[in-house]
Structure 1
Amino acid sequence: MSLLAVRYIDQPYQRLDDVLDKSDVGIILVQNSLIIHYLKTATSGPLWKLGNLMGTERVAYRLFSELPQSLETIVRDGSHVVFDKDIVYNTVLPRSFSRTGTCDFYVSRSSYLTTPLAMVAQKNSPLMPRLNKLAYSLVESGLYDKWQKFSHPNSSTCKNPPRIITVTSVFSLSNLWGMFVVLGCGFVMAVVVLVMEQMCGWAKWEEQGQVDTQDTHTTTITTITTTTTTEHALH
C-alpha cells in the first residue's frame, strides 16, 4: 500500500522587487559580466535599486564556474538568489537536473535584460540581407531551439516547473504518526467528555433526590398537624 499526497511548491520570487523587499535575502552576481555595467549605469527602477546595493553585504560576486557550487549551497538553503542572463540558466540548471533528476530551482517569470545574439559582418555588406534571412529561418523553423537542447540536455525541463505535484510514498510509521496522534487525541477527548457527562448526571441526580426528600417531610408534617387539630375539635 502507498500514500498519495498533493504538495504545493512555493515560488515567492517572481520579480526583482520581491527579492529587494526581503532584506535577509542575498543576491549573487556573476563577476566581469555585462550585467554589472547595466546596474552601474541604471538611473531608475529595480535595476537602479539593485545597483545601489552593490558593495553591500547583500550582493555576492561569483565566477561563472562557481555558480553550480553556489546553487547547491547558499541558493538551495534559500538565503540567496542568482540574478543573471537566461543563457546562464540554460547551462547551470540542466546540469543540476541531470544530476538529481528533480527541478530543485526555478526561473522567475519576469525578465529585465535582453541578450542579443547576432552574426557580425562589415557595415553595408551585401551579405547582410542573406544573413538576416538565414537567421529568421533558423529561429522560425525551431532549429535554434533544437541546437540549444542538443548542446544543453534538459535545458527546457525546469523552465516552468509545476507548482503543484503529487507525491507517492510507502506507508510507514514515519508518515502515519500524525494520524495516530489525532486518533489518540480523539479518544482522550471522548473519555473526558464521558466522565464530565457522568459527573454532571450524578450531581443532578443527587440534587433531585434531596429536593424530593424535603417535599415528602413537609407533606407529612402538614398532615399530622391537620389531624391533631381535627381531633381537638372533636373533643
Structure 2
Amino acid sequence: MAVEKPFIMVTGDEWMPFGKWEIMDNGERRLTGPLMELLDVLRRYMEFEYELFSPPDRGWGIMRGNGSWTGMIGHIQRKEAEIALGPFAMTPQRSSVCDFSIPLVHESFAILTPRPRLESDVSGFLKPFAAQVWLLILASLLSVGTAMACVVWAEGKIFRVITRNIVSKASTWVLLTLSQEGSEWLPKEDGGRLIVTTWLLASLVFMTSYSGILTAMLTLPRVVITIDSLPDLVSQSALPWHIQSGSALLPYLRDSEDETHQQAYRGRGADIQDCMWSLQDISDGKFAAFCSVLTIWKAMDLDYSTTGQCHLYGTREKVMSNAIMSLAFSKNSTYLAKANYLLRVLLESGLWNKWLKDELTNSSHCLRHPSLDGREGIQPLDMKAFTGPLYFLLGGAMFGMVVFLCEYVSQYILKPSQTTA
C-alpha cells in the first residue's frame, strides 16, 4: 500500500533569472527557471507534493508598521505557506518571522540605466587638455611675450639696436612659435635668443602632446558615463529613478544613516513591480531602476538576444553588496534540515550555478564598456564634431575684422588731417 505523500503550499513569483512565468501549450501558467529545477529536486527526494501560488501584491516582503509582513514573507508569517522560493536577502527583521536555508547566492544591487552612447562634442578639440592646462598655456603666452618685449627693449637701449614695433613683433612671434610656424623676426642679442630657445622647447612639448592626445581621442573615442554610482544618480535631475516594491533595498536605504542613501530613498519615484517589466522604459531613457546584478545581466541577455544590440547599462558601483540570498521556510519547519542537505549537494556539484549560467548566455556582450559598442575601426568625423574648430575659425575671423575696423577708424576718420598731409 502506497504511503500518501504530504502536501504543502509553496509561494513564489517571477524574478529573472531565478524564475519566469510561462504559458504552457495547454494554457497552464507555470513558473520555470533555476528555482523550479531546485524545487523539483526537493519534491522528488523529500517526497512531497505542493501547490505553487503567488502573493497578491507580488512582493517579496517588507514589514508594516503593525509588525505584519507583505508579500511572500507575509504568507510564511501567517502559516499560509511552508516554503517561499524568493530568493530572499537575509535580514534580521525577516529572520524573526521565518527560517532561512543555507545561502544560494551572494547578490548585489546596482542601478540599471539607458546605455550611454558615443555623442559628438562641439568642444572636443579642447578636451586633450584640462581647463587648468589651457589657462597655464595662456599665462605662458602672456608672460613670455611680455618678457620678450622687455628684454628686446632693454637690449636695444644697451647695444643701441633699434627695433620698431617691439610689442607687435614679440606677440606675433610667441603665437607663431606655439603653432609651430616659422617667424621672419628674431631678437638680435643673446638675452632675447635665450627666451626664443626656451619657448621653442616648451611649444614643442605643448603641441606634440596636444596633437598626440587629440589623435588618440579621435581614433579611440570613449563614451562619457554620467551615472556610474549612487552619488552620480542623486546629484542629477534629468533621469528619475524607481525601486522594486517589496525589495529588501527599500528598508536598507530608508534605515541607512548615509545621506546619499537617504536622498535615493526620498527622491525615488513610485515603486515598480519588476525591473524586467520596465526594460523598454529604461532603455528609452524614461527612468533608471535599482535592480539586482543578476537581474541586470538577465536584462542584457534578453536585450541582446532579441535585438542584437545593447540598450542597457548597469552601474559599476553597487548600491548594496553581497546580500545573502536564500529560500525561506516557516518557523521550525521540519523540511528545513533535509532541504539544506540537498541544497548543499546542488551547490557543491555545480548544478545550481549551471542552471543560473544557462539563463545568462548572451549577457557578456553587453557587459563591455560602452566605448566598445559597434566599433568598426576609425570613424569619420560628423559635422557636429567639426563645428567647434569652425566656430573658432569664425570667431577669429570676426575678431580680425573688428581689429581692422578699429584701425581704419583710427587712421582715416579720427586723424583725417594727418592722413591727407
TM-score range (shorter-chain normalised) is 0.5 to 0.7
Matched residue, 1:27: 241
Alignment map for 1:92-171 (pairs within 5 Å)? 92-98=299-305, 99=307, 101-102=309-310, 104-112=312-320, 114-116=323-325, 128=341, 132=344, 135-136=347-348, 138=350, 144=353, 148-159=356-367, 161=369, 168-171=378-381
Matched residue, 1:215: none
Q: Distance in 1 between matches of 2:315 and 2:348?
A: 27
Instruction: Spell out, residue by residue over 1:200-226, the C-alpha distance to the aligned partner (whole angstroms, 9 max, x if none).
Output: 34556844987xxxxxxxxxxxxxxxx
| Percent identity of paired positions between Structure 1 and Structure 2 | 13
Q: Distance in 1 between matches of 2:357 and 2:269?
A: 34
Give the 3-state SS of the residue equivalent to 1:170 in structure 2: coil
Q: Distance in 2 between matches of 1:193 and 1:109?
A: 53
Alignment equivalent of 1:43, drawn from 238, 255, 260: 255
The 4+ residue runs of structure 1 with deviation greater than 6 A are 163-167
Matched residue, 2:146: none
8 Å contact kept, 2:244–2:291: yes
Alignment equivalent of 2:396, drawn from 156, 162, 186: 186
Alpha carbons of structure 1 residues 168 and 147: separation in structure 2 relative to 1, 3 Å? farther
Shift of 1:83: 1.1
Q: Distance in 1 between matches of 2:397 and 2:253?
A: 67
Give the 3-state SS of the residue equivalent to 2:317 in structure 1: coil
Shift of 1:124: 5.2
1:61 corresponds to 2:268: no
Aligned length, in residue pairs: 193
8 Å contact kept, 2:300–2:310: no
Shift of 1:95: 2.5
TM-score normalized with structure 2 length = 0.35
Alignment equivalent of 1:11, drawn from 223, 226, 229: 226
- What stretches of structure 1 of length at least 5 have no aligned partner? 211-235
Q: Distance in 2 between matches of 1:102 and 1:13?
A: 17
Q: Distance in 2 between matches of 1:63 and 1:155?
A: 19
Matched residue, 2:290: 83
8 Å contact kept, 2:234–2:264: no
* Root mean square deviation, CA, Å: 4.7
Higher helix share: 1
Instruction: Spell out, residue by residue over 1:172-227, the C-alpha distance to the aligned partner (whole angstroms, 9 max, x if none).
Output: 555544444433332232233233234434556844987xxxxxxxxxxxxxxxxx
Matched residue, 1:224: none
Q: Distance in 2 between matches of 1:126 and 1:95?
A: 32
Shift of 1:92: 1.1
Shift of 1:14: 0.5
Q: In terms of Rg, which structure is larger?
A: 1
TM-score normalized with structure 1 length = 0.55
Alpha carbons of structure 1 residues 160 and 171: separation in structure 2 relative to 1, 3 Å? closer
* Aligned-partner residue type, residue 49 of structure 1: Q
Q: Distance in 2 between matches of 1:170 and 1:51?
A: 40
- What stretches of structure 2 of length at least 5 have no aligned partner? 1-217
Give the 3-state SS of the residue equivalent to 1:190 in structure 2: helix
